[in-house]
Structure 1
Amino acid sequence: MAENIEVVVIGGGYAGVMAANRLTRRDDVTVTLINPRPSFVHRVRLHQLVGGTDDAVVAYRDVLAEGVRLTVDTATRIDAAGRGVALASGGTVGYDYLVYAAGSGSADPSVPGAAEFAHPIASLEEARRLRQVLDTTPASAAVTVVGAGPSGIETAAELAEAGRAVTLVCGGELGPYLHARGRRSVAARLAELGVAVLEGEGAKVVEVTRDAVRLGDGRELPSRVTIWTAGFGVPDLAARSGLSTDALGRLLTDETLTSVDDGRVVAAGDSAAPSGLPPRMSCQAAMPLGARAADTVLSRIAGERPETLRQSFTAQCISLGRRTGIFQFADRSDVAVWFNIDGRLGARIKETVCKGIVGHLADEARKPGAYRLHRIPGSARRRMLLEAGRGEAAVPAEQAVRA
């Protein structure tokens, strides 16, 4: 009888669930998913939770394969030498292979007063706390959203559409990822919703107080509720466990997503830094990375050489309230191009994408191996950077595997 192989997945987000589901392709593999929450958080809908139009939660029974064992707990340390994961509740879960998909959260803001008086929304708990604050705050009260990326734009639009008086502080350029044409479309929609958009070097926040936001050019904005969407951070679990990470704390891997320290540790999602060239933190990257990580583990179990990463991007979609959105097309290197779809059709596409994310995970749960998007040819720019030696040196996975 074949020996059972234990695979532990840390993190039950987009990458972790995709990896866990895909690993059930083999009958001799037992998969344990460690996650601090009993439900799946649909992070691309957290701004809707803040705006009161969605709860951003999906039951794991709807997206997780029946054969995956869900352990609701928090991983506190990885013992790579002993092949075990210590849990906050006590005890250790052993593994033969580990998929590190710890995800990302709000970055600790360095701006004075931001940690004390501003509200982050990168996690379910943060978004729920902000929702409670807004529920007890008059609709006419000034709301300031800091950060002009997708999270900031979506949150500002969602709240403005609900009748809130919103100022979006960009700290630079509105939607820096967008093409100039798409940026104009977003700016026009925000203006229609009544959002005051502050751009430029002078619009950098230098201090947050209980009832105001101070900018670099000396302006002081009244702000009853300040929402912080600028930047993401990752858990320090890998670094605390003695594994090699990049400057942000993402686990360093080779192009098969295998840790440069240990061939039995594979990373996926926002907490992975393949060759020191991590893709943009996003759901669009997380699910293909989760599938690739699972395929790497399965290849190693089968005694085969894992395939390398093929990370490709095609677009970014941003909702601008419930009635309007924008679908910004991009090349495979994640550079926005001139073409976009906006207006009501843009909103419908964004909603289709949000539903499709859950659909991909559910399909993989029912039929492991069904997901194929991680096999699309990758970015030529990434290949060029790797050939030029721009990524951090990675130990070949075959040298890192431990018996």
Structure 2
Amino acid sequence: MSGNNVEVVVVGGGYGGVMAANRLARHDGVSVTLVNPRPDFVERIRLHQFVTGSDDAVESFGSLLGGNVRLVVDTATRIDAAGRRVSLAGGGTVSYDYLVYAVGSGAADPGVPGAAEFAYTVTDLEGAEQLRTALAATPATAPVTVVGAGPTGMETAAELAETGRKVTLVCGEVLGPSLHPQGRRPVARRLAKLGVTVLEGPRARVTEVTRDAVRLADGHELPSAVTIWTAGFHVPDLAARSGLRTDADGRLLTDSTLTSVGDARIVAAGDAAVMTERPFRMSCQAAVQLGAGAATTVLRRIAGKTPTPVRLIFGGQCISLGRNTGVAQFSYLNDKVNALHISGRLGANVKEFACNLPLKQMASGARKAGSRASHGGYRSPGNASA
């Protein structure tokens, strides 16, 4: 520890982690270290655009992370809760008084023969880069299959079809299961207009992926030069590997204040955790609120005050269907969707607003947490020990 400062380590530089780090770093007597495997921020909600080249999906931490935050570019490999230390892949360690667990989520193991070997993902930058390379090496007329009918699957299918790709979207059950039935209609119309073949129902379930085909439960085989798996998410096993309490999916268990069950020094933000009392949907919309909430909980504990429950307020879901069309599906504050929706160009504008708002919030938080010029950038993994 350094002087009388309270040392807070934030593990993960996604939406929740950056929001938490900036908010914490605004306070005197609090030293904040952010550990992230990349030197830049990745807009995961734009990775489907990265695949087609319409956006690079990367923003500099220089504009999003306050200069009072020490950035360590490395990967956390273990949390020693008893010793309050985080071990890093580069060989160093970082000590903490409080830790914000914000490692996010990634692609789930499909559990389908051949999928891990032959299917691509679009849930992280590395997967999107591999997919982009594969598409560049594939003729534009070759068939492409997208598996998964959630927001990522729908957006990826539309983005590729808009570039002229021949796309089949395999839903498994229903198109857009998180949408209201009335919100699904404009999505289906837009996909049909783009030429996307949509397969729904229990028979449209993938049972095997090969190098050049996708086999379905009804025995049908789809030719597929490039297969993209977007169904499901998983969280890193850092919490479980560190002996912290998790659910069956490996998410860190927290109470309603986002405090880890069993360790008051660890507070969570984002997809990698779950409230035992009030589960929430994995989303950027939740992560930015959870990041702010995690910071508030830590600050109250530092001040010797009892943390208060974090309340999440949802507004809906936004789906981009190419560059100029989208659907904004509204919801009640508890995230239950309703029949209200906006589609077409206005829907696309709402989606763009929803994508840009978190960046503006983080940039505002960075300004309040000091300029990057005042801090001198990040420390390398070799200098991470504290």
- Provide TM-score, normalisation by structure 1: 0.90
Residues 46-85 of structure 1: pairs in structure 2 closer than 5 A: 46-85=47-86
Contact 2:25 2:31 in 1 (8 A): yes
Residues 199-214 of structure 1: pairs in structure 2 closer than 5 A: 199-214=200-215
2:27 is the alignment partner of 1:17: no
2:335 is the alignment partner of 1:334: yes
Work out the CA distance in 2 between the residues paired with 1:33 and 1:276.
28
Work out the CA distance in 1 between the residues paired with 2:227 and 2:43.
23
**Unaligned stretches of 5+ in structure 2?**
370-386
Residues 32-51 of structure 1: pairs in structure 2 closer than 5 A: 32-51=33-52
Q: Following TM superposition, by how much is the alpha carbon of 1:2 offset from its aligned partner in structure 2, in angstroms? A: 7.5
Q: Following TM superposition, by how much is the alpha carbon of 1:277 offset from its aligned partner in structure 2, in angstroms? A: 3.8
Residues 332-371 of structure 1: pairs in structure 2 closer than 5 A: 332-367=333-368
Contact 1:51 1:155 in 2 (8 A): no
Work out the CA distance in 2 between the residues paired with 1:129 and 1:177.
28
Work out the CA distance in 2 between the residues paired with 1:47 and 1:363.
26
2:288 paired residue number: 287
Q: Which runs of 4+ in 1 moved over 4 A?
A: none
1:237 paired residue number: 238
Q: Following TM superposition, by how much is the alpha carbon of 1:202 offset from its aligned partner in structure 2, in angstroms? A: 0.3
1:258 paired residue number: 259
1:274 paired residue number: 275
Q: Following TM superposition, by how much is the alpha carbon of 1:292 offset from its aligned partner in structure 2, in angstroms? A: 0.4
Work out the CA distance in 1 between the residues paired with 2:79 and 2:286.
24
Work out the CA distance in 2 between the residues paired with 1:360 and 1:128.
27
1:313 paired residue number: 314
Specify the SS of the correspondent of 2:271: helix
Residues 115-130 of structure 1: pairs in structure 2 closer than 5 A: 115-130=116-131
Q: Following TM superposition, by how much is the alpha carbon of 1:365 offset from its aligned partner in structure 2, in angstroms? A: 1.5
Work out the CA distance in 1 between the residues paired with 2:249 and 2:333.
24
Tell me the amino acid that sits aligned with residue 314 of structure 1: G
2:194 is the alignment partner of 1:186: no
Tell me the amino acid that sits aligned with residue 161 of structure 2: A
1:401 paired residue number: none
Tell me the amino acid that sits aligned with residue 11 of structure 1: G
Q: Following TM superposition, by how much is the alpha carbon of 1:276 offset from its aligned partner in structure 2, in angstroms? A: 5.5
Contact 1:105 1:234 in 2 (8 A): yes
Tell me the amino acid that sits aligned with residue 131 of structure 1: R
Tell me the amino acid that sits aligned with residue 140 of structure 2: A
Q: Following TM superposition, by how much is the alpha carbon of 1:51 offset from its aligned partner in structure 2, in angstroms? A: 1.6
Residues 132-147 of structure 1: pairs in structure 2 closer than 5 A: 132-147=133-148
Which deviates further from its counterpart, 284-293 or 301-310? 301-310
Contact 2:21 2:69 in 1 (8 A): yes
Work out the CA distance in 2 between the residues paired with 1:194 and 1:357.
32
Q: Following TM superposition, by how much is the alpha carbon of 1:367 offset from its aligned partner in structure 2, in angstroms? A: 2.7
Contact 1:272 1:278 in 2 (8 A): no
Q: Following TM superposition, by how much is the alpha carbon of 1:25 offset from its aligned partner in structure 2, in angstroms? A: 2.3
Q: Deviations over 1:31-85 (max 9, x none)?
A: 0000000000001100001121011000001110110000000000000000000
Specify the SS of the correspondent of 1:242: coil
Contact 1:246 1:276 in 2 (8 A): no
Work out the CA distance in 1 between the residues paired with 2:289 and 2:173.
31
Q: Deviations over 1:120-169 (max 9, x none)?
A: 11110000110011111110000000000000000000000000000000
Q: Following TM superposition, by how much is the alpha carbon of 1:307 offset from its aligned partner in structure 2, in angstroms? A: 1.4
Q: Following TM superposition, by how much is the alpha carbon of 1:91 offset from its aligned partner in structure 2, in angstroms? A: 2.0
Contact 2:256 2:278 in 1 (8 A): no
Which deviates further from its counterpart, 268-277 or 250-259? 268-277
Contact 2:151 2:176 in 1 (8 A): yes
Q: Following TM superposition, by how much is the alpha carbon of 1:230 offset from its aligned partner in structure 2, in angstroms? A: 0.4
Work out the CA distance in 2 between the residues paired with 1:33 and 1:354.
23
Q: Following TM superposition, by how much is the alpha carbon of 1:181 offset from its aligned partner in structure 2, in angstroms? A: 1.0
Figure out how many residues of one structure are paired with residues of the other and give that number: 368
Q: Work out which structure has the larger RCO, using CA pairs closer than 8 Å and 6 or more positions apart in sequence.
A: 2
Q: Following TM superposition, by how much is the alpha carbon of 1:278 offset from its aligned partner in structure 2, in angstroms? A: 2.8
Q: Deviations over 1:328-373 (max 9, x none)?
A: 00012211111100000101111121111200111111236xxxxx
Work out the CA distance in 1 between the residues paired with 2:162 and 2:121.
20
Contact 2:10 2:99 in 1 (8 A): yes
Tell me the amino acid that sits aligned with residue 153 of structure 2: G
Same amino acid, percent of matched pairs: 66
Work out the CA distance in 1 between the residues paired with 2:97 and 2:12.
17
Work out the CA distance in 2 between the residues paired with 1:3 and 1:97.
14
